[in-house]
Amino acid sequence: MQFQKRKIDMSETPSENNGFEEPGSGKQGKIKKWQIALIVVIGLALVGVSVWQTWVKPAISKPISKTLDLAPMVSTSELPTATSEPSATPTESIATPTPTKAPVCGVDQIWNVMLVGIDERSTEYYYGLADVIRIARINFADMTVNMVALPRDMLVTFPEGLFATENPIKINQGYFFGTIGMTNSGDFNSGANSLAQVIQYNFGITVDHYMVVNMNAVENFINSIGGVDVDLPVSVFDEERPSFGSYPAGRQHLDGEEALNLMRIRANYGDDFRIGNQSIVIKSILQRFLIAENIAKVPDLIRDFFSTFLTDLSIEQLTNTAVCFLTNFKLEDYHSTQIPKELMVEGWEFIPSNYGSSYVFRWDQNTVDWIYQNLESQSQ
């Protein structure tokens, strides 16, 4: 039998090529590529979800610093007063109330937030006196903020056994004696926790949350938002520290260093004057964030700066709360006040921890009543 050879034409179609397909070509090959791509995408998604649930979510949900550990509120009849003469004690405490109106942001109706600025630049937060002490009452239902400044020289007493020193102390020492450098506790929130206890013990104010910043954090943060625009009622100049600069009356733009120096000047003016300048800068920062484009920057700013300050809030809480609040807040609903001079008595007091007499402000029930009224009031 004789066989006839056939020349195979490589240009023949698959159907003409004995049913064989080249690898990776045709419909069947395309389907396999999509299957592989789909498997890769699903795999990456599962890895992403796993990373989020295992590391990212717990990290951003965890408080940046430890939460406050305050003793149960004492009876108001047991609260002390720091006056030269006996006076009545507070008739009520200003703890966070039971919600009566649905909050616009978050789940809590009201926060009492303790804001502290310490006189240190070190990022370690081992020491520091609380030279800026403010209580901000944030109402998430009415979207208002009432803030009261507590002068650093207020004469106070601390609960028995809180510190290894004797009463009385200045209120700014309420932070210092609780710091990790003084207690070796290992807790970086210990200064905030002890100051919150001193405030609760003396004024009956229960702090819900806190934020502590040092001078470097303030300066760098203000620079990161492009500085602040302030409107000074009078010119300001520190004759003792010319390096702090001079600031004319009227509107002007300040960078971080200038704003920090302005908030520190007190020579020839007094602490109440310095508190007033601090209030101007704080309001200017808030005003800058009420611009929509700056609200959008909040998550990035929190991510960049969360390691430079102390707070019991988490990154997630800070981000969600800040964005929601700034979106729904109006500057006219922000009220910042400082205790009038006539409600405190200036003088000198022997402070055991200072080994001598120190300049102090004494206060009485009228001072406490004023603090309550201005934290709770909806209009000033």
CATH superfamily of 216-308: LCP protein (3.40.630.190)
Mean pLDDT value across residues 125-140: 95
- Look at residue 81 in the predicted model and tell me its pLDDT: 55
Which comes out higher in pLDDT, residue 244 or 39? 244
Let me know the angle formed at the C-alpha of 202 by 201 and 206, rounded to the nearest 5 degrees: 55
Whether the per-residue pLDDT at 11 is higher than 70: the answer is: no
Helix (H, G, I), strand (E, B) or coil at 224: helix
Whether the per-residue pLDDT at 3 is higher than 50: the answer is: no
How many CB atoms are located within 10 Å of the residue 46 CB? 10
Q: What is the mean pLDDT of the chain?
A: 84
From residue 356, give the alpha-carbon distance in Å to each of 169, 349, 350, 361, 362.
12, 8, 5, 16, 17
Whether the per-residue pLDDT at 314 is higher than 60: the answer is: yes
In Å, how far from its chain's centre is CA 168?
Answer: 29
Mean pLDDT value across residues 195-203: 97
- Look at residue 96 in the predicted model and tell me its pLDDT: 58
Query: Do residues 122 and 212 touch, judged by C-beta distance below 8 A?
Result: no
In whole angstroms, give the CA distance from residue 174 to residue 123: 20
* Residues in CB range of 29: below 8 A, 6 or more apart: 21, 23
- Look at residue 97 in the predicted model and tell me its pLDDT: 57
**Domain extents for the chain?**
101-214+310-319+333-380, 216-308
- Look at residue 86 in the predicted model and tell me its pLDDT: 34
Query: Do residues 305 and 224 touch, judged by C-beta distance below 8 A?
Result: yes
Mean pLDDT value across residues 56-79: 65
Q: Is 50 exposed, middle or buried (0-12, 13-18, 19+ CB in 10 A)?
A: exposed
Beta bridge partners, 144, equal 139
Give the containing element (helix H, strand E) for 96: none
From residue 209, give the alpha-carbon distance in Å to each of 186, 312, 340.
20, 6, 26
Q: Which of 255, 253, 244 is nearest to 222 (CA)?
A: 255
In whole angstroms, give the CA distance from residue 367 to residue 370: 5
The C-alpha R_g of the chain, in whole angstroms, comes to 30
CATH topology of domain 101-214+310-319+333-380: Nucleotidyltransferase; domain 5 (3.30.420)
Mean pLDDT value across residues 188-195: 88
From residue 350, give the alpha-carbon distance in Å to each of 25, 56, 80, 167, 198.
92, 51, 18, 10, 19
Condensed to tens digits (0 to 9), the pLDDT of residues 342-372 reads: 999 999 999 999 999 999 999 999 999 999 9
From residue 131, give the alpha-carbon distance in Å to each of 134, 282, 347.
10, 15, 19
In whole angstroms, give the CA distance from residue 128 to residue 123: 11
- Look at residue 82 in the predicted model and tell me its pLDDT: 57
φ and ψ of 235, to 5 deg: -70, 155
Pairing of strands 110-118, 209-213: parallel
Work out the percent of the chain whose per-residue pLDDT is above 70: 77
In whole angstroms, give the CA distance from residue 41 to residue 19: 33
By 3-state DSSP, what share of the chain in percent is helix, strand and coil, each rounded to 5? 40, 20, 40
- Look at residue 192 in the predicted model and tell me its pLDDT: 95
Helix (H, G, I), strand (E, B) or coil at 335: strand
Give the containing element (helix H, strand E) for 200: helix 190-203
In whole angstroms, give the CA distance from residue 361 to residue 151: 8
Listed range (15-24, 36-45, 330-339) with the worst mean pLDDT: 15-24
What's the number of CA atoms in the CB half-sphere (13 Å) around residue 150? 32
Condensed to tens digits (0 to 9), the pLDDT of residues 69-95 reads: 886 655 444 455 555 443 334 445 565
Query: Do residues 222 and 256 touch, judged by C-beta distance below 8 A?
Result: yes
Whether the per-residue pLDDT at 133 is higher than 60: the answer is: yes
- Look at residue 64 in the predicted model and tell me its pLDDT: 81
